[in-house]
């Protein structure tokens, strides 16, 4: 029998189900992510019943949606996972690590199958080996024999899922009607033909429908809730009744106009989430909505399903009703418009400075209100793109579990500050660098259990991920309690590569050697890390985001990599400073203080370098006029203002002519619109229409060090 395609799923009903695809794919991805998280947290020695039920519900929801839309391969695999999970939660089987491994692998396979259905994959995913392993575990066996032998191909006319389903078939009587056109019920017959795993359907009335009613015998392993939700795409829910075969109550008690004394038999799983987010969602297919009657009162159902998201959509006060899925493109467009509004507001504010507030009091008041509302609007819009760091951290437990098992190590992951929010654009770009840092800590940092025990450490190594806000930046730390960096080994490797590495280098500079292109201390190349590439790419990627990366290490005790990033890439608070006729923007989060230069305060060292003492601390002085070759026509002017800024763990004092004030600036990419300029991270448009450069404080600090 041919596999049902998404297009054929809705063909029988004459509706386009593709309008619901994206909802299903998003819901399925969330369920798979949640299922993986719970499987990783599952204690096989003392499994929690609620955890097993929750994992079962995740698999069940994916299967339901897949069956609805005709993704038979997804439905088949999730059905087998359900069988195993159902035995676990009923305590017919005892959880084992093997089961968790297979379920995790099945989750990966489901992700690949869903990606293929979205057009992101080419070849079909072969799940025969997984299905065989699950069947072995369901039967109470172990996987040694299954893994040692090649998978047995499925019979051409019957899939493994269908074969397994035969054993658990239920016999039901399906009554449909009254129907103005009884042939409409044939759509349900076609549905069973297109979805093999659904079971079998046979007419009980030989096609006769004198009373407008149609009756069928249904053999299925699906719950009543699943069937009713699936049928709802073709026939109104109120015109469908299910009963155990032989009960024969059809519409006798539930017909329109009759007392609502009975409802369909309760689903076998009281917490069955079904697929209500499709059947009852806003924008449901017209075929279902056109004939729909008022839904029966919830109290009439003796065993209601757990309400899924779309079922909750109309319920006032539910958490789900307060969320809305919006494409990133729309949010980005909104942010761009707010950015233009900020520039326009700055122009109006600039123009308003020349107006006498006594004569134009209402105008001045309106401009003040506009400035306040623009800032509030900007903060509200920017918060839409902010997502918690847990979205990044959640992908590491599974990765570390697989990696540690491959390396023969025992590693525990600890996360802190998961609620810390970061701009979505930054999250997407920081994920790969963080992944490399975590893999590097596990591969190079954490020792083997025997080595840790010999050093007096616990067998389990710990990798800690920490996210926190510091000023206008977010700081992400990757810590491990492994062997740390070896100073002598780093210096030796650097000299072998021809790098300048004298013994007088500070520890911070020695640790920084690992960011050199192609630098690696690995004794042998593995497929995990140590190929001589990676750390330089990590630093390059972080620097391109306007961030910085620092390393702290203590040999024998571990290492910490600290990544510092701006909170957002679009709009920021800045301080405007004037140098000659030019205006420059300093990120306000980097500004420490400013003061006037007193005679003798600036000292010259080494013939050309200059430093200033600020509260018993000497820091380099950078003259922006010389750095950017600013033309000056007032030759008598004496620059006498210093602004202290900090970045990458260092401070410098910038010599400027005047402080122009603080303002919000819209960051524009200078490199994309012009070219890369040293010591400049971007540009903005001022209120008077001029372009001002946004200075790269990290680059200026690095300049002072050299």
pLDDT at 373: 92
Confidence of residue 186 (pLDDT cuts 50, 70, 90): confident
* pLDDT tens digits for range 238-268: 788 888 876 544 333 333 333 333 333 333 3
pLDDT at 160: 43
**Is beta strand 650-656 parallel, antiparallel or unpaired with respect to 641-647?**
antiparallel
Collapsed DSSP state (helix, strand, coil) of residue 76: helix
Cα–Cα distance for residue pair 547/539, rounded to 1 Å: 9
pLDDT at 168: 58
pLDDT at 430: 86
Cα–Cα distance for residue pair 132/152, rounded to 1 Å: 8
Which residues make up the CATH 1.10.287 domain(s) of the chain? 328-385
Q: What does the H/E/C string look like for 275-311? A: CHHHHCCCCCCHHHHHCCCCCCCHHHCCCCCCCCHHH
% of the chain exceeding 70 in pLDDT:
76
pLDDT at 452: 92
Query: What number is the average pLDDT over the span 611-638?
Result: 83
pLDDT at 585: 92
At residue 480, does pLDDT exceed 80? yes
pLDDT at 654: 93
At residue 577, does pLDDT exceed 80? yes
Query: How high is the mean pLDDT of the chain?
Result: 75
Which residues make up the CATH 3.30.565.10 domain(s) of the chain? 388-566
Confidence of residue 370 (pLDDT cuts 50, 70, 90): very high
User: Using CA of residue 613, residue 615, residue 616, residue 620, what is the dihedral sign?
Assistant: negative
Please, are residues 207 and 185 in contact by the beta-carbon 8 Å criterion? no
Peptide bond into 63 cis (omega under 30): no
pLDDT at 516: 77
Beta strands in 411-570 (DSSP E): 411-416, 421-423, 461-470, 473-480, 548-554, 558-566
Cα–Cα distance for residue pair 60/25, rounded to 1 Å: 14
* pLDDT tens digits for range 35-64: 888 888 888 888 888 888 889 888 888 888
Query: Other C-beta atoms within 10 Å of 391: how many?
Result: 16
At residue 166, does pLDDT exceed 60? no
At residue 448, does pLDDT exceed 50? yes
Q: Tokens for 508? A: 């911070």
Non-local (6+) Cβ contacts of 463 within 8 A are 400, 411, 412, 413, 414, 438, 441, 442, 445, 446, 478, 479, 480
Confidence of residue 449 (pLDDT cuts 50, 70, 90): very high
Which residues make up the CATH 1.20.120.160 domain(s) of the chain? 6-159
At residue 278, does pLDDT exceed 60? no
pLDDT at 246: 65
Least confident of 186-200, 399-413, 428-442: 186-200
Q: Tokens for 521? A: 């201390």
Confidence of residue 461 (pLDDT cuts 50, 70, 90): very high
Query: What number is the average pLDDT over the span 399-425?
Result: 87
pLDDT at 50: 85
Sequential DSSP letters for 567-631: S-SSEEEEEEEEETTEEEEEEGGGEEEEEEPPTT-EEEETTTEEEEEETTEEEEEEEHHHHTT--
Cα–Cα distance for residue pair 116/122, rounded to 1 Å: 6
pTM listed for this prediction: 0.52
Q: How far is CA 222 from CA 60, 166, 219, 512, in A?
A: 10, 11, 9, 60
Q: Which CATH class name applies to 571-705?
A: mainly beta
User: Using CA of residue 521, residue 527, residue 533, residue 539, what is the dihedral sign?
Assistant: negative
pLDDT at 164: 41
Q: Tokens for 334? A: 């909104």
Least confident of 76-90, 137-151, 414-428: 137-151
Q: Which CATH class name applies to 388-566?
A: alpha beta
* pLDDT tens digits for range 61-97: 888 888 877 788 888 888 888 889 988 888 888 888 8
pLDDT at 268: 39
* pLDDT tens digits for range 650-703: 889 999 988 988 887 878 777 777 777 888 888 888 777 788 899 988 888 888
Query: What number is the average pLDDT over the span 438-450?
Result: 90
% of the chain exceeding 90 in pLDDT:
8
The domain defined by 6-159 carries CATH number 1.20.120.160 = yes
Query: What number is the average pLDDT over the span 489-494?
Result: 85
Residue with tokens 């044939």: 186
* pLDDT tens digits for range 211-234: 678 888 888 887 777 787 777 767
At residue 300, does pLDDT exceed 90? no
Query: What number is the average pLDDT over the span 473-481?
Result: 89
Cα–Cα distance for residue pair 2/5, rounded to 1 Å: 9
pLDDT at 342: 85
Structure letter (DSSP) for residue 512 = G
Confidence of residue 523 (pLDDT cuts 50, 70, 90): low
pLDDT at 644: 92
The larger pLDDT score, comparing residue 275 to residue 356, is at 356
Closest by CA to 490, choosing from 476, 502, 475, is 502
pLDDT at 247: 53
Please, are residues 398 and 36 in contact by the beta-carbon 8 Å criterion? yes
* 368-379 core/surface letters (b: 16 or more CB in 10 A; e: else): eebbeebeeebe
Fold designation for 328-385? Helix Hairpins (1.10.287)
Least confident of 182-186, 326-330, 452-456, 508-512: 182-186
Q: Tokens for 636? A: 């008598």
pLDDT at 477: 92
């Amino acid at each position: 029998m041919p596999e049902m395609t998404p297009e054929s799923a809705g063909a029988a009903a004459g509706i386009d189900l593709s309008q619901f695809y994206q909802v299903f794919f998003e819901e399925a991805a969330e369920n798979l992510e949640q299922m993986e998280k719970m499987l990783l947290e599952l204690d096989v020695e003392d499994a929690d019943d609620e955890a097993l039920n929750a994992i079962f519900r995740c698999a069940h929801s994916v299967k339901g949606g897949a069956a609805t839309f005709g993704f038979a391969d997804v439905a088949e695999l999730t059905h087998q996972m359900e069988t195993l999970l159902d035995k676990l939660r009923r305590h017919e089987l005892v959880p084992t690590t093997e089961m968790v491994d297979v379920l995790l692998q099945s989750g990966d396979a489901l992700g690949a199958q869903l990606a293929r259905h979205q057009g992101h994959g080419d070849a079909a995913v072969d799940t025969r080996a997984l299905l065989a392993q699950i069947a072995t575990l369901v039967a109470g066996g172990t996987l040694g024999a299954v893994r040692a032998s090649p998978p047995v191909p499925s019979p051409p006319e019957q899939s493994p899922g269908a074969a397994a389903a035969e054993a658990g078939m239920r016999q039901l009587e399906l009554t449909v009607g009254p129907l103005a056109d009884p042939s409409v019920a044939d759509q349900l017959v076609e549905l069973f033909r297109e979805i093999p795993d659904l079971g079998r359907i046979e007419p009980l009335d030989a096609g006769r429908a004198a009373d407008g009613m149609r009756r069928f015998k249904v053999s299925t392993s699906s719950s009543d809730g699943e069937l009713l939700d699936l049928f709802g795409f073709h026939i109104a829910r109120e015109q469908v009744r299910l009963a155990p075969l032989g009960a024969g109550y059809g519409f006798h008690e539930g017909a329109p106009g009759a007392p609502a004394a009975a409802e369909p038999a309760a689903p076998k799983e009281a917490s069955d989430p079904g697929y209500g987010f499709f059947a009852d969602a806003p924008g449901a297919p017209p075929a279902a909505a056109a004939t729909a009657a008022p839904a029966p009162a919830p109290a009439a159902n003796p065993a209601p399903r757990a309400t899924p998201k779309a079922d909750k959509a109309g319920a006032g006060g539910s958490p789900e009703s307060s969320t809305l899925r919006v494409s990133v493109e729309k949010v980005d467009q909104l942010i761009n418009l707010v950015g233009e509004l900020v520039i326009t507001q700055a122009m109006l504010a600039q123009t308003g400075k020349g107006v006498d507030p006594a004569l134009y009091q209402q105008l001045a008041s309106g401009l003040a209100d506009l400035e306040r509302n623009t800032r509030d609007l900007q903060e509200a819009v920017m918060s839409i793109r902010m997502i918690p760091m847990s979205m990044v951290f959640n992908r590491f437990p599974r990765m570390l579990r697989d990696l540690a098992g491959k390396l023969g190590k025992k590693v525990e992951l600890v996360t802190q500050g998961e609620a810390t929010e970061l701009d979505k654009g930054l999250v997407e770009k920081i994920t790969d660098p963080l992944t490399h840092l975590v893999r590097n800590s596990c591969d190079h940092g954490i020792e083997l259990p025997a080595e840790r025990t010999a050093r007096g450490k616990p067998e389990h190594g710990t990798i800690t991920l920490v996210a926190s806000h510091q000023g206008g930046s977010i700081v992400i730390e990757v810590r491990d309690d492994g062997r740390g960096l070896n100073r002598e080994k780093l210096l030796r490797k650097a000299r072998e590569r021809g790098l300048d590495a004298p013994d007088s280098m500070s520890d911070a500079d020695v640790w920084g050697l690992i960011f050199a292109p192609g630098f690696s201390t690995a004794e042998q190349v593995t497929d995990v890390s140590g190929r001589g590439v990676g750390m330089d790419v990590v630093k390059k990627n972080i620097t391109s985001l306007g961030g910085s990366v620092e390393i702290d290490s203590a040999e024998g005790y571990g290492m910490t990599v600290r990544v510092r990033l701006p909170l957002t890439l679009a709009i920021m608070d800045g301080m405007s400073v004037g140098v000659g006729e030019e205006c420059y923007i300093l990120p306000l989060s980097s500004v420490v203080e400013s003061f006037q230069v007193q005679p003798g305060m600036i000292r010259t060292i080494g013939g050309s370098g200059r430093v200033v003492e600020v509260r018993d601390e000497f820091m380099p002085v950078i003259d922006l006029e010389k750095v950017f070759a600013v033309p000056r026509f007032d030759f008598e002017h004496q620059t006498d203002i210093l602004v202290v800024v900090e970045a990458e763990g260092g401070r410098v004092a910038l010599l400027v002519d005047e402080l122009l004030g603080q303002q919000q600036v819209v960051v524009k990419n200078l490199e994309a619109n012009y070219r890369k300029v040293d010591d400049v991270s971007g540009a903005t448009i001022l209120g008077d229409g001029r372009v001002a450069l946004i200075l790269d404080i990290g680059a200026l600090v690095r300049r002072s060090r050299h």
